[in-house]
Chain A
């Protein structure tokens, strides 16, 4: 499937006098491996929140597969195929790893409207969740309560939940954030293995990860898009270097 998966036109958002999004025109292609970089406070997470519907824009439009979803809330957009991960883990801490992913799968297929027959009978849901855990190499921890896992592996659960939604668009907010460097390869490997047909947008600070993952990089500064291009073009761009004040990672 080709074409534009997710798109914004003239997207603006302000909180009183503070503008976090300034007239953003953005396009995420199907099957994309797209990175969003920029200094702290550039408005990257706010932009993701605008894309998912967690934030309502002050002006502009958001389009998912050509459909205008600006008026839809987070829940409606998630049901239309947008999934995201959070910079700080948002897990179901009292539940096991398997249950965490089962929730995403079950909600997706509408199984959670079932009040009478037990969760145990949802064999298909459990099997799919298990398969997902195998994909991200977490199957061995399936029964463990999520809060007992090392932070790096918790970050994988964070990703697995989003994958349980079988999204067409996946927004990753600094997937390697907070992960000790000894464990970060498990995140990188999982990101490498993401299905090719999902459009992926990743916010990242770690340039090594950006280079490894991205075919296209957008640079955001002070709520607006500065420039966009292939990773090596961006790395060579003097404006980008200036914004990063010497660009330590590039």
Chain B
């Protein structure tokens, strides 16, 4: 009996940690899709970039893990700005198909570029001693790293919630998501808002990517491999909804993790069946509008 409780707890905890990564990576996509209405299949490429930059900073330059993570986020977030200005901006008014095609093109370019520089093998990342190994909490032996991830996830949602609900900038973003034209006529610089939000989303994705290296592994195929998952988090959660992305990511993480453990032969497809069912019943997602 105690054994089942243990297994369940571990499954939930691992799934939670995995879900946190999905949240951290996908939250940026949810906000930009809700704000710009842009179907960005290349979002995972920014996560991937974050992972690779973190690996290089830690592995080649000997930087400590946490500062490397933060620096990688800032670097990737900043680097995403020219992409937004030069490429994405031109297709804001275009249909889904054009946006899908362009972002697929970007993912291919990213995959090729990273394979060229880093090779196709999975990247190794040495965790700092403080985060490596187990930690005992409430009599349970848990991975310190996963605990760290869960903590980061909660901190992030709290910080984002505060930023969106309690600051002026956040209010402007929410206004623009709700009704772009009205926001513009109120004098809100929507263009600048788009760029900042895009950079923030990409930076967060990079953070998630850096965190993911030790959990999911990192190869140049990462962006394509997890593409469907990021889209599921966003679609199931509802575009532009922080709460939605959080709930959907955690659900997805837990269900996928549990599925793979309980049915290693074929647990992979539960998540897609669940997604389809949910979208058929609630096309706008759990917390989406319209």
Q: Do chains A and B touch in the complex (CB under 8 A)?
A: no
